Amino acid sequence: MPRRLAARFARFSAWLAAFLVGVVSLAVLGLLTTLEQTPLVKRGETIAPTAIAEARRLLALNDPRRLRRGEKRTAEIPAALVDEAVNYVVSRSLGGRGAFVMAEDSAEVRLTVPARLPGAHYLNLRAVFREAEGEPRVAAAAIGAASVPPFLAESFIAVVLRIAGIGEQWRLARRAIRQMVFEPSRAVVLVTYVWEPKLLERAVSLAIADDDIARMRAVQRDLAGLLDHHAPYAKIPLVQVLTPLLAQAEERTSAHRRVVLLVLATYLAEKDLATILPQARQWPRVRRVKLTLGERHDSAQHFLVSAALVAWAGEPVTKAIGLYKELDDSRSGSGFSFADLAADMAGARFGELVVKDSPLLSEALQRTLTDTDLAPRLADLPEHLSEAQFGRVFGGVNGRGYQQLTGEIERRLDELPLYR
Q: What is the CA radius of gyration of the chain?
A: 25
Give the whole-angstrom CA distance, residue 120 versus residue 405: 35
Sequence-ordered list of residues with C-beta below 8 angstroms from that of 320, at least 6 positions apart, any chain: 46, 47, 48, 49, 51, 52
The confidence band for 383, taking pLDDT boundaries of 50, 70 and 90, is very high
The confidence band for 69, taking pLDDT boundaries of 50, 70 and 90, is confident
Task: Look at residue 188 in the predicted model and tell me its pLDDT.
Answer: 92
User: Does residue 218 register a pLDDT over 70?
Assistant: yes
- Residue 186's alpha-carbon distances to 79, 127, 178, in angstroms, are 9, 22, 21
Sequence-ordered list of residues with C-beta below 8 angstroms from that of 230, at least 6 positions apart, any chain: 236, 287, 289
Question: Cβ distance 87 to 98 under 8 Å?
Answer: yes
**Phi and psi based region of residue 112 (left: phi greater than 0; alpha: psi -120 to 50; beta: remaining):** beta
Task: Look at residue 285 in the predicted model and tell me its pLDDT.
Answer: 93
Torsion 173-174-177-180 (CA) sign = positive
Task: Look at residue 25 in the predicted model and tell me its pLDDT.
Answer: 41
Pair 131, 80 in one domain: yes
In the chain, what is the straight-line distance between the N-terminal and C-terminal CA atoms, in Å? 71
Task: Look at residue 19 in the predicted model and tell me its pLDDT.
Answer: 45
- Whether 126 maps to a domain, the answer reads yes
User: Does residue 210 register a pLDDT over 90?
Assistant: no
Strands 290-292 and 235-237: parallel
In the DSSP assignment, the letter for residue 293 is B
- What total number of domains does the chain contain? 2
Torsion 264-253-166-160 (CA) sign = positive
Pair 111, 190 in one domain: yes
Domain boundary (169, 204, 239) is at: 204
Segment 73-84 mean pLDDT: 90
User: Does residue 303 register a pLDDT over 70?
Assistant: yes
Task: Look at residue 407 in the predicted model and tell me its pLDDT.
Answer: 95
Q: Of 14-23, 116-125, 336-345, 354-363, where does mean pLDDT reach its minimum?
A: 14-23
Task: Look at residue 41 in the predicted model and tell me its pLDDT.
Answer: 93
- Whether 41 maps to a domain, the answer reads no
Angle at the Cα of 154 (from 165 to 73), degrees rounded to 5?
Answer: 75
- Whether 100 maps to a domain, the answer reads yes
Give the whole-angstrom CA distance, residue 171 versus residue 160: 13
Pair 233, 381 in one domain: yes
Domain boundary (171, 204, 237) is at: 204
Segment 351-372 mean pLDDT: 91
Task: Look at residue 62 in the predicted model and tell me its pLDDT.
Answer: 77
- Whether 9 maps to a domain, the answer reads no
Task: Look at residue 30 in the predicted model and tell me its pLDDT.
Answer: 45
Domain boundary (144, 177, 204) is at: 204
Give the whole-angstrom CA distance, residue 49 versus residue 215: 32
Sequence-ordered list of residues with C-beta below 8 angstroms from that of 195, at least 6 positions apart, any chain: 64, 67, 68, 69, 70, 71, 72, 73, 176
The confidence band for 172, taking pLDDT boundaries of 50, 70 and 90, is confident
Task: Look at residue 202 in the predicted model and tell me its pLDDT.
Answer: 65
Which amino acid, 115?
A: A
Helix (H) or strand (E) holding 332: helix 315-332
User: Does residue 97 register a pLDDT over 80?
Assistant: yes
Task: Look at residue 29 in the predicted model and tell me its pLDDT.
Answer: 40
**Parent domain of 292:** 208-419
- Whether 299 maps to a domain, the answer reads yes
Pair 223, 336 in one domain: yes
Give the whole-angstrom CA distance, residue 126 versus residue 130: 13
Sheet of 106-114, strands arranged across: 97-103, 106-114, 122-130, 138-143, 146-148
- Residue 221's alpha-carbon distances to 225, 234, 365, in angstroms, are 6, 19, 20
Q: pLDDT tens for residues 226-242? A: 999 999 999 999 999 99
Task: Look at residue 119 in the predicted model and tell me its pLDDT.
Answer: 66
Sequence-ordered list of residues with C-beta below 8 angstroms from that of 22, at least 6 positions apart, any chain: none
- Whether 255 maps to a domain, the answer reads yes
User: Does residue 190 register a pLDDT over 80?
Assistant: yes
Pair 245, 268 in one domain: yes
Torsion 355-289-341-166 (CA) sign = positive
- Whether 237 maps to a domain, the answer reads yes
Q: How many helices (H) and strands (E) does the chain have?
A: 16, 11
- Whether 18 maps to a domain, the answer reads no
Share of the chain above pLDDT 70, in %: 86
Q: pLDDT tens for residues 15-25? A: 555 444 444 44
Strands 72-78 and 188-194: antiparallel
Pair 85, 199 in one domain: yes
